[in-house]
Chains A and B, each alone.
Chain A
Amino acid sequence: MAQPVLAVRNLHVRFRTGDGTLHAVKGIDIDVNAGETVAIVGESGSGKSQTMMSVMGLLASNGWAEGSVKYRGEELVGLSPNKLNHYRGSKLTMIFQEPMTSLDPLYKIGDQLALPLTTHGGLNKARARKRAIELLELVRIPDPERRIDSYPHEMSGGQRQRVMIAMALANNPDVLIADEPTTALDVTVQAKILELLSDLQKRLGMSIVFITHDLGIVRRFADRTYVMKRGEVVESGKTGDIFAAPKHPYTQMLIDAEPTGRKEPVPAGAPMVLEAKDVQVTFGLKKSFFGKAGHVLRAVDGVSLSVRAGETVGVVGESGSGKSTLGRAILRLQPASGMVRFEDRNLMPLDRGGMRPLRRHLQLVFQDPFGSLSPRMTSGEIVTEGLLVHEPSISRKERDRRAAQAFEEVRLDPAWRNRFPHEFSGGQRQRIAIARAMILHPKLVVLDEPTSALDRSVQKEIVELLRELQKAHGLAYVFISHDLAVVRALSDEIMVMKTGKVVERGTAEQIFDRPKEDYTRDLIAAAFLTENAKAEARSLAS
């Protein structure tokens, strides 16, 4: 077999931190051969990104690498930045997870694109500009002659990632390292970027190293796969083999981490909990000092929905579709017009004080488990805050008992209730957020992307927890998510939203099996890369 283009041998990465040395990568071996696509999969904290950062000499200043990284036989570890610059940007290039911040906001994209061309390619300004336009065309940015003079803030996330790819490809590299290149993008955009990458690889023939947590991408694009866990490679081999017969239990767990199962149907005659009709939310954009009304944005445009006890309504859509705003509007946390009825009470005429006693029945769980917990309160205090409002008479001791009880209910050790949010992991924090809602025994919970910030395996646990809680208490859920796999595992009925409007609605089966709208079909296609991959793998294995 030919010599690999990139050979990583016994690589260690360590970081100096306030609490001692952190051993992030523990002696791993990785080979990348010419023209192939290699995936490195793992959950957050597995060291997959740091491995490639150290290849590129991009570790943070408190980190260092030991071991060997050879590019076509040339040792890269320990090279000075100046020497490393012979390879970076010309032979080895990288694109990153954060397309929104990876371009310099102060320079035109044409100027930024020209930098690697003039530096490594030795082109003069005029020729670099011409080549930059070609590159923009290559990554399918429409109207490249005009867009070359845009600033990054004038482009969408997907377009910025395309510009990043163009910069990386400027000097026909041997290896392109893509660090979660689509994670921060909407699902339909994700699919297009991935398609572009695989197409470019076919045309240009470089090797791609995919760092990802998304097994769908791995299955579809990678020739070979390395599975990383806590700084070690636990399994590696041909992608097909790994999917067909995972050897390591961790790999097995990752593959099974897709939320599975379907929700049991709601018994007929379950009482209506919440009904909303023709909800509208408008934002006046950029009001000037003198109150001149600017452009008006309809974030939610005439949406109706109803939830019965024990029922889950899934609301799906991409960012900016108004799904989160809708969730807040039906809880009266966001000024809106239309009609919202809880049990037999019209909520619209109620003011803040009038809503207060009803709040215990209507709860909300947020997406970001880091932002939704007050950082200076203990988890026990956070969980019992609602009791202070709705059951002010109970004693401190009783509150503590209830906190412990709520912790048990969300499968957390009650002994941890004096800990602070930053001492918990993401999944544990989300459990705390759920406990905060559950302690009041609500009737309706709006779940706003509660699993989106979590690793797949943790997502699965949270989904199971939510399902159990619903069954035990007959809860009604409004489940907001862009992640269709999770939505399908939880919902009875699904609404697809786009730019504030519902474009399609129906039972979970109707939406997934017989989607009517193209938009819905795109969403499903993009979301079920993984699902399809697994099915394919199973059929291969059998």
Chain B
Amino acid sequence: MAEGAVLPAETLKDPVVGRSLWVEARGRLVRNKAAFGSIILLGLIAFACIFGPFVTGHPFDKVYPDYVKVPASLSSYPKPDQIEPNIERIGARVRAKAENITIKGDDVQMTLVGQRPIDERLLAYFERSDLFGAAKVLERADEGKRIVVEVPLKRKYFFFGTDTNGRDLLTRTMKAGQVSLAIGLLATFVAIVIGVAYGATSGYLGGRADLVMMRAVDVLYSLPFIFFVIMLVVFFGRNFVLMFIAVGAVEWLDMARIVRGQTLSIKRQEYVQAAEALGVETKGIIRRHVIPNTLGPVVVYMTLLVPKVILLESFLSFLGLGVQEPNTSLGVLISEGAKNIQGATWMLIYPSVTLVAILFCLNFIGDGLRDALDPKDR
């Protein structure tokens, strides 16, 4: 065709839309049952952690002194066998004895018998407890020494039980999930940003700069990791956001190595040489060729780094160096659970199951992404 010839209109028909590698990878990921199931499960967990605390009816730091360490249960509290002892306890404060305690639906009727006339203002003790609502006096007899009282029961649900302070474990687990996920994402983000920038620079510059930059990474590798983390805790103390930015700043080493290796191999690819032959500037090569092609391993590494960071946070919290009360994280809950494993197994089981589920999902997603992005049989 002659130079600059105008194409006939019909040849400029609408282009066929191609399937990019990303689209194909998504297809493979969706077909991978374990990974796809994990994505859905993790989505549900994250959704529950974010919105759950609003619907459980318990603030995460609300203490129920009457419900300390109650076991997990699908039916509501108070349990029938809890009502009588509690009424007797309140009766004692009102300086009366409770008789004829009958439970009718959501109400309890009883007769309070005192040796002196009962001060009805003291009935407020009922409302102050976690079990009952405001008391209503139905009958008075014997100059007020004998009154019939009806109190409504406050129905409460503790699906995961409560902790040693009487806080709802379900809400706390959700809150903890929020914190753990947030920490994982934040630290990973920091690690990725530093790692990608460092690795890509080192790989692209090559030569002596690469040698020096990677030597520095080697030295940092030999520094005991725990030492670094504990020093960061010492420095940043109780500010966990700052601390995990710092943890991210330690975790970037692997990322830097991966990205460097990737950049080196992409640099040798013929399509980069072809771009150089076209006269494309370094900026354009990095933007159009290097970055899109390193993204795959970075995404995979990211999904595997999040669980690592969450585990690290749990480990620090276990040592008492992590998130501080009343705020909580899965590590904090698990270490409390481990201390109360005798007699209050639910305190260990539910947070552990949540943590393991999150980590499991992230691992499967990471594996699935790796298979999807880098299929061996292509």
A residues near B (Cβ < 8 Å) are 17-18, 62, 289, 328, 331, 333, 355-357, 359-360, 362-364, 366, 368, 371-380, 385-386, 388-390, 401, 404-405, 408-409, 414-420, 422-423, 433, 436, 440-441, 472-473
How far apart are B187's CB and chain A's nearest CB, in angstroms? 28
Specify the chain A residue showing the minimal Cβ separation from B292: A376
Question: Which segment of B91-99, B273-281, B316-324, B335-343 sits at the interface?
Answer: B273-281
10 A–B contacts, CB within 8 A, in A order = A359-B279, A360-B279, A373-B271, A373-B274, A374-B288, A374-B289, A376-B22, A414-B13, A419-B18, A420-B20
| Given A386-B279, A409-B1, A436-B278, residue A374 in contact with residue B18 (CB < 8 A) | no
- Chain B residues within an 8 Å CB radius of A375: 21, 271, 293
Specify the chain B residue showing the minimal Cβ separation from A405: B7
Whole-angstrom distance between the alpha carbons of A418 and B14 in the complex?
A: 10
* Interface residue tally for chain B (C-beta within 8 Å): 40
Specify the chain B residue showing the minimal Cβ separation from A389: B279
Q: Is the CB of B7 within 8 A of A404?
A: yes
- Chain A residues within an 8 Å CB radius of B141: none
Q: Is the CB of B273 within 8 A of A415?
A: no
How far apart are B332's CB and chain A's nearest CB, in angstroms? 43
Chain B, 239-298, CB within 8 A of any chain A CB: 269-271, 273-281, 284, 288-289, 292-293
- Chain A residues within an 8 Å CB radius of B5: 405
Decide if B223 is an interface residue (CB 8 Å cutoff): no
Whole-angstrom distance between the alpha carbons of A380 and B292 in the complex?
A: 17
Specify the chain B residue showing the minimal Cβ separation from A440: B278
Q: Is the CB of A420 within 8 A of B273?
A: no
How far apart are B293's CB and chain A's nearest CB, in angstroms? 6
Decide if B12 is an interface residue (CB 8 Å cutoff): yes
How far apart are A460's CB and chain B's nearest CB, in angstroms? 21
Q: Is the CB of B15 within 8 A of A416?
A: yes
| Given A359-B279, A375-B293, A388-B280, residue A18 in contact with residue B28 (CB < 8 A) | yes
Q: Is the CB of B274 within 8 A of A433?
A: yes
Q: Is the CB of A390 within 8 A of B279?
A: yes
List 7 tightest A-B contacts by C-beta distance, closest first.
Answer: A359-B279, A419-B18, A372-B270, A418-B15, A364-B277, A386-B278, A374-B271
Specify the chain A residue showing the minimal Cβ separation from B14: A415
- Chain B residues within an 8 Å CB radius of A433: 274
Q: Is the CB of A17 within 8 A of B288?
A: no
- Across the interface, A415 reaches (CB within 8 A) one of B16, B22, B288, B377, namely B16
Q: Is the CB of B279 within 8 A of A355?
A: yes
- Chain B residues within an 8 Å CB radius of A390: 279
- Chain B residues within an 8 Å CB radius of A378: 18, 20
| Given A376-B293, A405-B7, residue A418 in contact with residue B31 (CB < 8 A) | no
| Given A333-B276, A360-B279, A375-B21, residue A408 in contact with residue B7 (CB < 8 A) | yes
Q: Is the CB of A368 within 8 A of B277?
A: no
Q: A333-B276, A441-B3 are in contact. List 20 more A-B contacts (CB 8 A).
A: A18-B31, A328-B273, A331-B277, A363-B277, A373-B271, A374-B289, A374-B292, A375-B21, A375-B271, A376-B22, A378-B20, A389-B279, A408-B11, A414-B12, A414-B15, A419-B18, A420-B20, A436-B278, A472-B2, A473-B3
Q: Annotate B47-85 by CB proximity to A: 1 below 8 A, 0 otherwise.
A: 000000000000000000000000000000000000000
Q: Is the CB of B19 within 8 A of A423?
A: yes
Decide if B17 is an interface residue (CB 8 Å cutoff): yes
Whole-angstrom distance between the alpha carbons of A373 and B272 in the complex?
A: 9
- Chain B residues within an 8 Å CB radius of A441: 3
How far apart are B88's CB and chain A's nearest CB, in angstroms? 69
Whole-angstrom distance between the alpha carbons of A254 and B17 in the complex?
A: 34
Q: Which of the listed residues B12, B13, B19 has the most CB atoms from chain A within 10 Å of its own CB?
A: B12
- Chain A residues within an 8 Å CB radius of B273: 328, 333, 364, 366, 372
Whole-angstrom distance between the alpha carbons of A388 and B283 in the complex?
A: 13
Q: Is the CB of A404 within 8 A of B12?
A: yes
Whole-angstrom distance between the alpha carbons of A473 and B3 in the complex?
A: 8
Q: Is the CB of A418 within 8 A of B17?
A: yes
How far apart are B205's CB and chain A's nearest CB, in angstroms? 15
How far apart are B232's CB and chain A's nearest CB, in angstroms? 32
Whole-angstrom distance between the alpha carbons of A364 and B274 in the complex?
A: 7
Specify the chain A residue showing the minimal Cβ separation from B23: A420
- Chain A residues within an 8 Å CB radius of B284: 388-389
Chain B, 344-378, CB within 8 A of any chain A CB: 375, 377-378
| Given A404-B11, A414-B12, residue A385 in contact with residue B18 (CB < 8 A) | no
Q: Is the CB of B3 within 8 A of A389?
A: no
| Given A385-B280, A389-B279, residue A408 in contact with residue B1 (CB < 8 A) | yes
Q: Is the CB of B293 within 8 A of A374?
A: yes
Whole-angstrom distance between the alpha carbons of A414 and B273 in the complex?
A: 25
- Chain A residues within an 8 Å CB radius of B31: 18
Q: Annotate B208-222 by CB proximity to A: 1 below 8 A, 0 otherwise.
A: 000100000000000
How far apart are B43's CB and chain A's nearest CB, in angstroms? 24
| Given A374-B289, A388-B280, residue A414 in contact with residue B22 (CB < 8 A) | no
Q: Is the CB of B270 within 8 A of A366?
A: yes
| Given A372-B271, A376-B292, residue A420 in contact with residue B21 (CB < 8 A) | yes
- Chain A residues within an 8 Å CB radius of B375: 18
- Chain B residues within an 8 Å CB radius of A373: 271, 274
Q: Is the CB of B21 within 8 A of A376?
A: yes
- Chain B residues within an 8 Å CB radius of A376: 20-22, 292-293
- Chain B residues within an 8 Å CB radius of A436: 274, 278
Q: Is the CB of A17 within 8 A of B377?
A: yes
Q: Annotate B19-35 by CB proximity to A: 1 below 8 A, 0 otherwise.
A: 11110000010010000
- Chain A residues within an 8 Å CB radius of B12: 401, 404, 414
How far apart are A410's CB and chain B's nearest CB, in angstroms? 10
How far apart are B243's CB and chain A's nearest CB, in angstroms? 37
Whole-angstrom distance between the alpha carbons of A134 and B277 in the complex?
A: 52
Whole-angstrom distance between the alpha carbons of A331 and B276 in the complex?
A: 11
Specify the chain B residue showing the minimal Cβ separation from A406: B1
Q: Is the CB of B279 within 8 A of A380?
A: no
- Chain B residues within an 8 Å CB radius of A362: 277
